[in-house]
Chain A
Amino acid sequence: MDHASLVFASVFPVPSLSHTTPTPVATPDLGYTAPGSSFGSPFAGTSGAEQHHVAKRNSAWSTATRFLSLPRDANYTGLRTRRTRDVDDALNYLLVGAGKTPDGAKAEEGLVGWYTNEVRLHYAKYVRPDLRELWEKEIPLSDTWETLEETQRILDHAQKFYLHPFDEHIVPFLHQDASNMTIRVSRDADTVDAGLVEAAKSKFQRDMQAAFSHSLPSKRFSKTLSHVLYDAGCRLFRFYIRQDGVQPSAAPEDTNGVRARMTTLLVNLQGVGLGGEMAQKAFAHSMDKIIDTFIGSHYTKVDWFSKASVVPSMRNWVENGFRPLAELVLKCLQCQSTNVDSTQMKQWQEMALARLGRARVENLFDFVINWDRSLGAILDLKEYLKLDGAKEFLKNHFSRQVSRRLLHQGATTTYILNVYISIIRAFHRLEPKGVLLQSVARPIRRYLKDREDTARIIISSLLIDIEDEKGKNIPLNGELSYEIASEMAKPFAQPDNVDDEFNWNDMNWQPLPHDASPEYKKSKIEDVIYFLLTLWDREDFINELKNIFGDHLLRCQDPEFQLEIRLLELIKMRLGEEKLQACEVMLRDVLESRRINDAIRTAAESSNRRELILQTPRTPRSKALRPRPQKSLSISSASPPALALNAQILSSFFWPVLRDDDFHVPAEILSLQKDYESRFERIKGMRKLRWMNALGESRITLEFEDRTEEFEHLAPWQVSVIYAFQPQPGEDPSGGGKGISRTITQLEEMLEMDESLVKQAIAFWIGKSVLRETSDSTYIVVENRSSTDNPVDSDAAAAAKELAEVQAAQTSTVKSQADLLSEKKDVYMSFIVGMLTNQGNMGVARILMMMRMMVQGGFPFAEEEVKALLVELEGKEKVVGLGGDVWSIKK
């Protein structure tokens, strides 16, 4: 009974509520005489019968209710006495006889209603406080089972107590009543009769249980119940990572015990009316958490070893582990359908898969890095991608991970390239059509394009041999990508050009993914190198390739150029033959140079009356030739033995811009060059050679007073500088007993070499302990190693060595960007001046755009360089900055 009616009843007494004082049996109701009729006896008229009827009912009511009243104390366990005869009569009268339905009586005024209310009051007064005590405070996780069981016990007890009088004293009369009523109506009297009684009984139970469940804090109860179910699930499935923070016990759980305890609890709760919707909701909640936890504890572990997907076993668990549990619980809660059908189960499997997929996506970047040990995880994701919305989710999350973890300044280009390769491989596995790869790789490709060293690293990595002759991996420095190199080493499969959209025999055909972008090109290419080579526009890439390829050819040690030939063939296959003419010419140049060298040397040696095996010389078709000396010479302080000189003949038109420092080479070399030149001209029909002394490689032997040392891979300028320490004609070889000394200025003059180059060479030789600084900028040869073994010298040598190494790293054969800028600075400056003069004031960005457009051969610089040029021009008073990046010509 709700609060409102209780309040109402306190003001306007309702009989069923206020019956505590029974109507005195002894006082007859004499009735009254109706107006207009004669005053007569109590039995006169019909109204007297009415009066009597009311009195009888009141008296019966009083008797029955007194009998049925529940004991007014907390101890409600006491046994009830048997009902006496007058109670029987009263009950019979009220439930079966004429007293059943008093005139104008409401339903609740019947005796059943009264009893229901009596139960409510009793419950509120004597049972509820116990429960409140139990539920008042938050329930610790460890007590959830006990609390529920205790609650269930209390309620069970109370229910039995309340039901007993009902069953004993009310139901029989109801039966009787029902049979009276139905006897005339139906032949199925028994069933109808039972049905009516049942209805009355279940209404009573419902009301009672409503009181029970209302008295519990519903949220707390459902939380507690769902925790209990969750806990049971965790124990049954032996989860070892739980979301509620409870440490699972190390000992194996007694699963049968847990299952029995849970079943009992649920059945009993259902019995006292605490099942139903509330429990079902709690159950749904806990199921949800169980799936989560299960995935967290069992399946987020990637199968690193067998590299298989965990999805099948997860599906299996849902079907054979999770479903039976759900069915069991549903049965306990007496749900209408306790069978989980297959659609429902598929949904669960998908839910589980979605959760697993999301967990995988969170770590996708790590999986990609650890490809291909993470194959299992990728296969899981492949399953996940079949779900709706999964692709979008994966794309967004992965892009975010990539931009956070990969595309930042801290990552080296090599690292990014390696990760990109892993992404290509992993995503190819994930979705062979490549649409997903295309969209996740876009930011990476854009970023890689912006990095200056990307092309260099790719091409140099393509050109290295990762295995030495013994098949061992050689260590690579940080600049080279092992991944790229190993890709290159893989056999190259010619992509078949058959359009397999029309290949009717292709049993693995799949339609294009629906999310493919319009420009999506169907490519079956899983070839990593293809992706790397297509990072740039073809032209840009080929230009870069030309530079690096040229540099590489000049440094290459392999006389057969096997790798280079292979690389060129590969790139030709991918980019088209016609674009790579320059590279082919370069390759041919170096190959033919060898033949010419052989031919010339043979000719020279035969003229020197020495024998050598002759190789058939071939005529190169190159037009302009640019030779590069590759000399192997030995210098000794006494008479020099025979020197050998090999030249690389380069077709100047096709090679990138090379270093071209002018300086004097040692006289012996010069004469060799002249000799070579004349022989070359004889072979090649008057073609001219121009020597590029800055390039080349030499091997020399230095003889000192106390030792002889050999040096290999020296640059010609290094040789020239050390050769300048030979005594000149007319110079005292002993240098006045101190050895020959030279200053930097002297060397510059003697060799006509750049000061910076001289200094570099000096630093190199000091690093090798060949030269020593005696005083400021004056150097002598260290003839006796032993005498110089003092710490000062070795320190200086170490320092110089370091310097030389740093400088060597900066000196490459092909001109660097900075070299190019300083060399072409004048042209660029006159461009800028011309532009500003004729086109008026301009912003830096527009200047850069114009430069890129107008400068022949391209303007490979950025705004920074343009700004630097402008500032320099400002210093020369040619231009003025107008502020806000806008520049104008100085008037």
Chain B
Amino acid sequence: MALSNGSAANVASRLQKELMDIMTHPTPGITAFPSSENLTTWTATIDGPTGTPYESLVFKLNFEFPSTYPYSPPNVTFKTPIYHPNVDFSGRICLDILKDKWSAVYNIGTVLLSLQSLLGEPNNSSPLNGQAAELWDKDMDEYKRLVLARHKTPEELDADAA
């Protein structure tokens, strides 16, 4: 694949291809869809993995694709407030593949899968939310309570936004 300078058209066509892939091979518990006409911002939804404190919760995320995508990672944030060691209170995520470990072979689907697994297996060695990292190891009940306290359903989110 020739390294292109990533003009807007190239980004758009790559993203459209990804969209088609997601649609033709949907993964359960994960969806994503562009929210702007030029496809550079997306909204994604992941279900909390079973057997974790996030079970049966639904999280919305925001994707912003730079014009250099896929050679640089998208900017991903949680729209739904989440209590998690690797996510801060404004929704920013600390995940290596979204930073220095990014590679052009990743795509929206793989990012979402990684995030889904991050929910069940937080990286407590480099927490953004120290309290959460601590509680994860020490007091799971309190942790669960805080997760539920912070969580909002998409409807509540919509209502807040409105």
State how many residues of chain B have any CB contact under 8 Å with chain A: 22
Whether the Cβ atoms of B35 and A838 lie closer than 8 Å is yes
Tell me whether A834 and B22 are in contact in the complex, defined as CB-CB below 8 angstroms, given that A839-B35, A840-B154, A853-B37 are known contacts: yes
Q: Is A774 an interface residue (CB 8 A)?
A: no
Whether the Cβ atoms of A833 and B20 lie closer than 8 Å is no
Whether the Cβ atoms of A837 and B17 lie closer than 8 Å is no
Q: Is A614 an interface residue (CB 8 A)?
A: no
B19: nearest chain-A partner, CB-CB: A854
User: What is the bound-complex CA distance between A856 and B26, given in angstroms?
Assistant: 16
Q: Is B125 an interface residue (CB 8 A)?
A: no
Q: Is A476 an interface residue (CB 8 A)?
A: no
User: What is the bound-complex CA distance between A616 and B2, given in angstroms?
Assistant: 39
Which residues of the partner chain A approach B43 to less than 8 Å between Cβ atoms? Answer: 838-839
Q: Is B32 an interface residue (CB 8 A)?
A: yes
**Residue in B23, B44, B154 whose CB lies within 8 Å of A831:** B23
A826, A833, A834, A853: residue with the most chain B Cβ atoms closer than 10 Å: A834
Q: Is A830 an interface residue (CB 8 A)?
A: yes
Q: Which of A198-216 contact B (CB under 8 A)?
A: none
Q: Is B121 an interface residue (CB 8 A)?
A: no
Which residues of the partner chain B approach A840 to less than 8 Å between Cβ atoms? Answer: 154, 158
Whether the Cβ atoms of A837 and B31 lie closer than 8 Å is yes
Shortest A307–chain B CB gap in Å is 55
Shortest B64–chain A CB gap in Å is 14
B23, B26, B34: residue with the most chain A Cβ atoms closer than 10 Å: B23
State how many residues of chain A have any CB contact under 8 Å with chain B: 15
Shortest B132–chain A CB gap in Å is 26
Which residues of the partner chain A approach B24 to less than 8 Å between Cβ atoms? Answer: 826-827, 830
User: What is the bound-complex CA distance between A821 and B106, given in angstroms?
Assistant: 31
Q: Is B152 an interface residue (CB 8 A)?
A: no
Whether the Cβ atoms of B16 and A856 lie closer than 8 Å is yes
Q: Is B45 an interface residue (CB 8 A)?
A: yes
Whether the Cβ atoms of B33 and A856 lie closer than 8 Å is no
Tell me whether A834 and B158 are in contact in the complex, defined as CB-CB below 8 angstroms, given that A854-B16, A856-B16, A856-B20 are known contacts: no
Q: Which of B7-64 contact A (CB under 8 A)?
A: 16-17, 19-20, 22-24, 26, 31-35, 37, 39, 42-45, 60
Q: Is A163 an interface residue (CB 8 A)?
A: no
User: What is the bound-complex CA distance between A618 and B37, given in angstroms?
Assistant: 47
Tell me whether A834 and B23 are in contact in the complex, defined as CB-CB below 8 angstroms, given that A839-B43, A856-B16 are known contacts: yes
Whether the Cβ atoms of B33 and A838 lie closer than 8 Å is yes
User: What is the bound-complex CA distance between A724 and B49, given in angstroms?
Assistant: 53
Q: Is A835 an interface residue (CB 8 A)?
A: yes
Which residues of the partner chain B approach A853 to less than 8 Å between Cβ atoms? Answer: 37
Which residues of the partner chain B approach A831 to less than 8 Å between Cβ atoms? Answer: 23, 33
Tell me whether A835 and B33 are in contact in the complex, defined as CB-CB below 8 angstroms, given that A830-B26, A840-B158 are known contacts: yes
**Residue in A827, A838, A855 whose CB lies within 8 Å of B45:** A838
Shortest A870–chain B CB gap in Å is 16
Which residues of the partner chain B approach A838 to less than 8 Å between Cβ atoms? Answer: 31-33, 35, 42-45, 60
**Residue in A826, A837, A839, A856 whose CB lies within 8 Å of B19:** A856
Which residues of the partner chain B approach A826 to less than 8 Å between Cβ atoms? Answer: 24
Which residues of the partner chain B approach A839 to less than 8 Å between Cβ atoms? Answer: 33, 35, 43
Which residues of the partner chain B approach A827 to less than 8 Å between Cβ atoms? Answer: 20, 23-24
Q: Which of B131-157 contact A (CB under 8 A)?
A: 154
Is chain B's binding surface mostly helix, strand, loop or mixed?
mixed
Which residues of the partner chain A approach B60 to less than 8 Å between Cβ atoms? Answer: 838
Shortest A858–chain B CB gap in Å is 11
Whether the Cβ atoms of A830 and B45 lie closer than 8 Å is no
User: What is the bound-complex CA distance between A165 and B37, given in angstroms?
Assistant: 104
User: What is the bound-complex CA distance between A853 and B20, given in angstroms?
Assistant: 12
User: What is the bound-complex CA distance between A856 and B17, given in angstroms?
Assistant: 7
B45: nearest chain-A partner, CB-CB: A837
User: What is the bound-complex CA distance between A590 and B32, given in angstroms?
Assistant: 42
Proximity bits, B77-95, A CB within 8 Å = 1, else 0:
0000000000000000000
Which residues of the partner chain A approach B26 to less than 8 Å between Cβ atoms? Answer: 830, 834
User: What is the bound-complex CA distance between A840 and B161, given in angstroms?
Assistant: 12
**Residue in A834, A854, A855, A856 whose CB lies within 8 Å of B31:** A834
Tell me whether A837 and B33 are in contact in the complex, defined as CB-CB below 8 angstroms, given that A854-B16, A856-B16 are known contacts: yes
Which residues of the partner chain B approach A855 to less than 8 Å between Cβ atoms? Answer: 20
User: What is the bound-complex CA distance between A834 and B32, given in angstroms?
Assistant: 6
Which residues of the partner chain A approach B35 to less than 8 Å between Cβ atoms? Answer: 838-839
B25: nearest chain-A partner, CB-CB: A830
B43: nearest chain-A partner, CB-CB: A838
Shortest B116–chain A CB gap in Å is 15
Which residues of the partner chain A approach B37 to less than 8 Å between Cβ atoms? Answer: 853
A835, A838, A839: residue with the most chain B Cβ atoms closer than 10 Å: A838
User: What is the bound-complex CA distance between A535 and B19, given in angstroms?
Assistant: 32
Which residues of the partner chain A approach B33 to less than 8 Å between Cβ atoms? Answer: 831, 834-835, 837-839, 854
Shortest A824–chain B CB gap in Å is 9
Which residues of the partner chain B approach A837 to less than 8 Å between Cβ atoms? Answer: 31, 33, 45
Whether the Cβ atoms of A830 and B23 lie closer than 8 Å is yes
Proximity bits, A868-887, B CB within 8 Å = 1, else 0:
00000000000000000000
A888: nearest chain-B partner, CB-CB: B155
User: What is the bound-complex CA distance between A378 and B78, given in angstroms?
Assistant: 70
Q: Which of A711-767 contact B (CB under 8 A)?
A: none
User: What is the bound-complex CA distance between A143 and B22, given in angstroms?
Assistant: 93
User: What is the bound-complex CA distance between A855 and B17, given in angstroms?
Assistant: 9
A826: nearest chain-B partner, CB-CB: B24
User: What is the bound-complex CA distance between A831 and B60, given in angstroms?
Assistant: 17
B154: nearest chain-A partner, CB-CB: A840
Shortest B106–chain A CB gap in Å is 19
A835: nearest chain-B partner, CB-CB: B33
Q: Which of A825-856 contact B (CB under 8 A)?
A: 826-827, 830-831, 833-835, 837-840, 853-856
User: What is the bound-complex CA distance between A853 and B19, given in angstroms?
Assistant: 12
Shortest A349–chain B CB gap in Å is 60
User: What is the bound-complex CA distance between A766 and B142, given in angstroms?
Assistant: 76
A856: nearest chain-B partner, CB-CB: B20
B20: nearest chain-A partner, CB-CB: A856
A853: nearest chain-B partner, CB-CB: B37
Which residues of the partner chain A approach B19 to less than 8 Å between Cβ atoms? Answer: 854, 856
A827, A831, A837: residue with the most chain B Cβ atoms closer than 10 Å: A837
Shortest A887–chain B CB gap in Å is 14
Shortest A417–chain B CB gap in Å is 35
B157: nearest chain-A partner, CB-CB: A840
User: What is the bound-complex CA distance between A827 and B19, given in angstroms?
Assistant: 10
Whether the Cβ atoms of A854 and B154 lie closer than 8 Å is no
User: What is the bound-complex CA distance between A121 and B149, given in angstroms?
Assistant: 116
User: What is the bound-complex CA distance between A229 and B89, given in angstroms?
Assistant: 100
Shortest A781–chain B CB gap in Å is 44
B42: nearest chain-A partner, CB-CB: A838
Which residues of the partner chain A approach B158 to less than 8 Å between Cβ atoms? Answer: 840
A824: nearest chain-B partner, CB-CB: B24
User: What is the bound-complex CA distance between A840 and B60, given in angstroms?
Assistant: 11
User: What is the bound-complex CA distance between A213 and B72, given in angstroms?
Assistant: 104
Shortest B83–chain A CB gap in Å is 22
User: What is the bound-complex CA distance between A831 and B21, given in angstroms?
Assistant: 11
User: What is the bound-complex CA distance between A826 and B25, given in angstroms?
Assistant: 10
Give 5 nearest A-B pairs by CB, closest first: A838-B43, A838-B33, A834-B33, A834-B31, A856-B20
Given A840-B154, A854-B39, 8 additional A-B pairs, CB 8 A: A827-B20, A831-B33, A835-B33, A838-B31, A854-B33, A855-B20, A856-B19, A856-B20
Please list the residues of chain B having a beta carbon within 8 angstroms of any beta carbon in chain A.
16-17, 19-20, 22-24, 26, 31-35, 37, 39, 42-45, 60, 154, 158
Please list the residues of chain A having a beta carbon within 8 angstroms of any beta carbon in chain B.
826-827, 830-831, 833-835, 837-840, 853-856
30 contacts across the A-B interface (CB closer than 8 A) = A826-B24, A830-B23, A830-B24, A830-B26, A833-B31, A834-B22, A834-B23, A834-B26, A834-B31, A834-B32, A834-B33, A837-B31, A838-B31, A838-B33, A838-B35, A838-B42, A838-B43, A838-B44, A838-B60, A839-B33, A839-B35, A839-B43, A840-B154, A840-B158, A854-B16, A854-B19, A854-B39, A855-B20, A856-B16, A856-B20
